[in-house]
Structure 1
Amino acid sequence: MFVEMKRSGGTVVHGYEKQLEFYKAASQTEFGVFVIIDYGDLGNKLNEVNRIRDERVKNGERASEIIVIDTTRKASASKRK
């Protein structure tokens, strides 16, 4: 299994669509996980990555899992109402 991580401000779509596939092939594995670290500037990139994944699944291809880690600032749990 290969894990690729991208910051939300980076080349997320290219990372999922091309880079992860290249690295999986080089590692001789069909299994991959794509981790997006969301700093609040992800925009529409997640929708595009999910569209690519859905299309691959629809075509009977193996599609890597997508995990989003939300690192945007939130109010402290002790200060939430």
Structure 2
Amino acid sequence: MPFVAANFNILRKKPFDFVPKNLGEHIKKKRLELGLTQKELGEMLGATLFTVLNWEKGKTEPHPQFISGINLFLGAPNIKYNHHD
């Protein structure tokens, strides 16, 4: 079957109007609004797809090395988060 180019961003033009309750949900909402995949966001931040997945599901918190990138992504450059090792 030949490859067919498609613009899947058209499918993502939905409002994501859920109210985030934690950092992971804020990351997910912003990612969906921008039409990014978890893999694409991970590549932008230097994290893996599974790392982003775990943040969004609330299974793990971002390591301090990712905080400045996440702040820029969210448009909140000076927010500090608690990280539990």
In the superposition, the TM-score normalised over structure 1's length comes to 0.24
Instruction: Give me the TM-score of the superposition, normalised by structure 2.
Output: 0.23
Which gives a bigger RCO, structure 1 or 2 (Cα 8 Å, sep 6+)? Answer: 1
